[in-house]
Copies of this chain bind each other. A is one copy, B any other.
Amino acid sequence: MSRLTRFLAPTTVARAHCDIPCGIYDPHEAETAAKTVSKMVELINGLEGDDTAARNKFARCVKVKEEHAEKVKREVQIIWSDYFKPEHLETYPDLHDKVWKLLKLAGKNKQNVDAEAASQLEASVKEFSEIFWATKK
Cβ contacts under 8 Å, A104 to chain B: 81-82
- Taking a contact as CB atoms under 8 Å apart, the answer to whether A20 and B61 are in contact is yes
Decide: A133 near B97, CB < 8 A? Known: A26-B32, A60-B110.
Answer: no
Q: Are B53 and A32 in contact (CB under 8 A)?
A: no
Name the one of B11, B18, B45, B63 contacting A59, with C-beta atoms under 8 angstroms: B63
A91: B residues at CB distance < 8 A: none
Assembly CA distance A134 to B29 (angstroms): 21
Report A119-137 CB contacts with B as 1/0, cut-off 8 Å.
0000000100000011001
Q: Which B residues touch A60, using CB under 8 A? A: 20, 62, 66, 110-111
Closest to A15 in B: B32
Do A36 and B22 contact each other (CB < 8 Å), given the known contacts A9-B5, A104-B82, A133-B3?
A: yes
Residues 18 to 32 of chain A near chain B (Cβ within 8 Å) = 18-24, 26, 28-29, 32
CA distance A74 to B26 in the complex (A): 19
In the complex, are the beta carbons of A10 and B3 less than 8 A apart? Answer: no
Which of B36, B77, B111 is in CB contact (< 8 Å) with A24?
A: B36
Interface string of A34-71 (1 = CB under 8 A from B): 01100110011100000011011111111110101010
Complex-state Cα separation, A113 to B111, whole angstroms: 20
Q: Are A1 and B13 in contact (CB under 8 A)?
A: yes
